[in-house]
Amino acid sequence: MSQRNIDKASRLLLKSSPADTTSHVELCLTCRELWASAQSHCNWCASLWWQITCRSPFREMNESSLRQLYIKYDLTVTPKEERNSGAVSVAGRLECYVWPSQARSVRPYHFTLQIVNISDGKASRYKIPEKTSSAASRILASQWISNCTQNHKKCRIDKISWLPTRLVNVGLDGGATRLVETIILSKNQYSPYLALSHRWGATPNHSSRLSSVNKLAWMKSIPTNQMPATFQDAIQYTKSMNISYIWIDSLCIMQDSPEDWSTEAALMDKVYAQSFCNIAASYASNENSLNTGLFYTRTPDDLATTSVKYKLITKNDCQGIFGISLKSNYIIDDTEFALYGRAWVLQERLLSPRTIHFSKQLIWECREERASESFPMGISLMSDDRRDHDFSKDWRSSLEVFGYKFWADTVGRYVKSSLTYSSDYLVAISAIAREYERELDDVYLAGLWKKGLPFNLLWKTDNKSSFSSRPNAYRCPTWSWASLNICYPAKLEILIPDGEALAEVLEAKVFSPPGRTYTECYDGHIRLKGILYSVGYKDVHEWLRGDGHKLFFGKEIEPCRRVSAFLDIKIQKSDRSRLYLIPIVLESRPRFIWCLILRSILMGSMEFERVGVLIFSLEDLGKYDEQLRPIMEWAEAKDPLSRDLKTIIIY
């Protein structure tokens, strides 16, 4: 399809649209037409054709076969006027779907091209160099930092009032690279520091770890030539940016002292939040992460932004030069790089005011803007896709509206990540929890929030291949997701249904050692008042996967076609007489009842542990579902919590 036809379609849609609304048009064509249009020098179509022939699963096809592919794309345009420090804004996106044939019988290959406003001349001033270690890349990063410190109110730290316990002095004063204990520094000696995010790698290098054995020697000189390439590059980059200090976890925390590690882990929120800038070794591989280094050699043309002239006839008659590029050219894709599979990096990225990601190009993030070597002038977060803005350094600004949803999304990302030590499960997200509690004035309960109860008890794991497990050593109460070892690709969802509570929380407590509220707990419980149903057994762990097995409420009922259930752990046959349901929420739209599945700790007692979640629809109850109907009638009654209920404790 030609440039002219796309322009015409968009103009028709946008003629009567206000300037702040979103309009879109779906266009379908074969790759034969796309190829012909690309050959006719249409930059839009050339960008699409390059993506299909060089990046897609179809790239191995010959040109004749490629032309038989079928493509559909959805052009969405959101005209906005940008009034910030000069950053461009996202004008829209092109969602592209490619099938082997018009039948669309298989899942399509999907990619997104971002459409970005570019003022004349601005994009062409920066020529992407071959290496991210080049002087040009370093100067560009310095410009991003300068613009941020001078113009971004959300990113500004007016005074350096705190430093980590230890820092690495990179020798900017001409001395050796050495370890510094900041307690000896006077306030007027405080200066900015960088903080490194990295992966450990498969084989730990003990020479690159601070210990009681080498501490005194390192305070005189750190043998950087024995350090992994990533550490060497990070130290050298810090020096080249004219910054005196860098914080690197294994160089600044005593690795042979559990006491020091525990103390420093509790300060992790400050380490990153108070850093001048976080540098992330994003491109490092899984196997040899630390020896990969920070820098990358690339083909500059692969990162280039295609410029097109485009006119949108809107209320304000927007027109000018627009850039077309892959979204990943200015937003780090969590799934593409091994670093973001490390659980600790999640909070390092969210808490630091600025991050420079060292991937195939430099990518910049701060609390007001994103930028990259493809988009050196920056893209304002104010014009970004809502989904991406929610998970950005500006996450605090949307907490009051999306607070619990943000936490649910963050935890969902977190459990997909890996930890070297399972004992770090609460620790590696503790800094975000501390910030969250401060912002929303809530009480943290080992992964959940007091004001969200009883609704946020309804988290669930979904893993079709295996069950999660609980650690041998106690970590937290079973009603928290953090009580499980959840292995990828299992998914965790903290559900926040909109409806009426069917259980009353009488008490919720977690007990932690002094000063370790967010990182450790040794006991905890919830007291609930609600209605309790005994659940019988027949191959129960299969039934709970919704495979049509039978459920018992005193006697058998019809196969559970309308029941969805999710087990936390595998149920053993010995548990057949110990399973119960307690309804938690009656969801209003659609009408579902959400229940916790419990297992009694001691026969005849009112003490339980959580083993899963069960959901069933009220809309689809059949006339034969006599045993489910009492739950429905009780839930729908006026003020169900005034009935004769039981008080139980879940540990």
Structure confidence by residue, pLDDT tens digits, 316-354: 445 555 566 665 555 666 666 778 778 888 889 889 999
User: How, if at all, do strands 166-169 and 245-247 pair?
Assistant: antiparallel
Write down the pLDDT at residue 464.
Answer: 62
| pLDDT of amino acid 327 | 54
Range in 138-152, 167-181, 284-298 the model is least confident about? 284-298
Nearest to 494 by CA among 425, 397, 414, 420: 414
Tell me, what's the pLDDT at 26? 45
Amino acid at residue number 48: L
7 or 375, which is more confident: 375
- 425 close to 346: Cβ distance less than 8 angstroms: no
| Pairing status of strand 318-326 against strand 306-312 | antiparallel
pLDDT (0 to 100) of residue 568: 86
The answer to whether the beta carbons of residues 366 and 353 sit under 8 Å apart is: yes
pLDDT score of 63? 76
Q: Band of the pLDDT at 423, cuts 50, 70, 90?
A: confident
Q: Mean pLDDT check: name the lowest of 13-27, 183-197, 573-587.
A: 13-27
- Residue 92, judged by CB atoms within 10 A of its CB (0-12, 13-18, 19+), counts as buried
Least confident of 95-99, 203-207, 326-330: 326-330
Q: Are 89 and 118 in contact (CB under 8 A)?
A: no
pLDDT for residue 623: 45
Cβ 344 vs Cβ 428: under 8 Å: yes
Please report the pLDDT score of residue 340 as a whole number: 76
Instruction: Tell me the pLDDT tens digit for each residue of 25-44.
Output: 444 456 677 778 777 777 66
The residues with which 510 forms a beta bridge, in sequence order, are 524
Q: What's the CA gap between 447 and 431, in Å, rounded?
A: 12
How many Cα neighbours within 13 Å face the side chain of 328? 15
- pLDDT reported for residue 622: 54
pLDDT at position 192 is: 94
Q: Residue 38 has what pLDDT? A: 76
With a cut of 80, say whether residue 469 has pLDDT above it: yes
pLDDT at 136: 93
Cα 626 to Cα 33: distance, rounded to the nearest angstrom? 60
pLDDT of residue 562: 61
In whole numbers, what is the pLDDT of the chain averaged over residues?
Answer: 77
Assign 649 to helix, strand or coil: strand
Q: Using an 8 Å Cβ cutoff, are 43 and 324 in contact?
A: yes
Q: What is the pLDDT of residue 277?
A: 96
d(CA 586, CA 555): 24
pLDDT at 552: 43
Whether residue 344 contacts residue 286, with contact meaning beta carbons closer than 8 Å, is answered with: no
| pLDDT at residue 592 is higher than 80 | yes
Smallest CA-to-CA distance from 381 within 157, 156, 154 is with 154
Average pLDDT score over residue span 404-419:
83
**Between 307 and 496, residue with greater pLDDT:** 496
What is the rounded distance in angstroms from the CA atom of residue 358 to the CA atom of residue 266? 27
In order, the DSSP letters of 255-294 are: TT-HHHHHHHHTTHHHHHHT-SEEEE-TT--STTHHHH-S
- Going 453 to 454 to 456 to 461, the CA torsion angle's sign is positive
Greater pLDDT, 466 or 13: 466
11 — pLDDT class (breaks 50, 70, 90): very low
- Work out the burial of residue 184: count CB atoms within 10 Å of its CB; fewer than 13 is exposed, 13-18 middle, 19 or more buried: exposed
The rounded distance, in Å, linking the Cα atoms of 598 and 583 is 11
Show the tokens assigned to 139: 């100067």
Instruction: Estimate the crossing angle of helix 43-54 against helix 3-14, to 10 degrees.
Output: 110
Q: Which residue has the higher pLDDT, 466 or 91?
A: 466
Q: What is the pLDDT of residue 364?
A: 93
Max CA distance (Å), the chain: 84
Pick the more confident residue, 193 or 380.
Answer: 193
Task: Please say whether the beta carbons of 75 and 6 come within 8 A.
Answer: yes
Dig out the tokens for 17 from the structure.
């649209």
Contact 650, 477 (CB under 8 A): yes
Contact partners, residue 230, CB within 8 Å, separation at least 6: 196, 198, 281, 284, 289, 290, 291, 292, 293, 294
What's the pLDDT score for residue 640?
A: 64
Copy the structure tokens of residue 485: 């070892």
Strands 277-280, 354-358: parallel, antiparallel or unpaired by DSSP?
Answer: parallel
Give DSSP secondary structure letters for 159-223: ------SEEEE--TTSS--EEEEGGGS-GGG---EEEEE----SS--GGGS--TTTHHHHTT---
478-499: average pLDDT: 79
Q: Between these two residues, 142 and 311, which has the higher pLDDT value?
A: 142
Q: Which residue has the higher pLDDT, 290 or 171?
A: 171
CB-count exposure of residue 2 (10 Å: 0-12, 13-18, 19+): middle
- Beta carbons within 10 angstroms of residue 50's beta carbon: 14
The predicted model gives 438-457 an average pLDDT of 91
User: Could you identify the residue written with the tokens 């291949």?
Assistant: 465
Q: What is the DSSP letter of 633?
A: H
Taking residues 88-108, report their average pLDDT.
Answer: 70
Query: What is the structure's pLDDT at 25?
Result: 42
Give the other-Cβ count within 10 Å of 134's Cβ. 14
In the predicted model, is pLDDT for residue 289 greater than 70? no
Burial label for 137, CB within 10 Å (0-12, 13-18, 19+), is buried
**The pLDDT of residue 8 is above 50:** no
Mean pLDDT for the stretch of residues 372-376: 84
CB 292 within 8 A of CB 229: yes
pLDDT higher than threshold 60 for residue 306: yes
Helices 430-440, 343-351: axis angle to 10 degrees equals: 40
Amino acid at 228: P
pLDDT of 314 strictly over 60: no
- 647 pLDDT tier (thresholds 50, 70, 90): very high
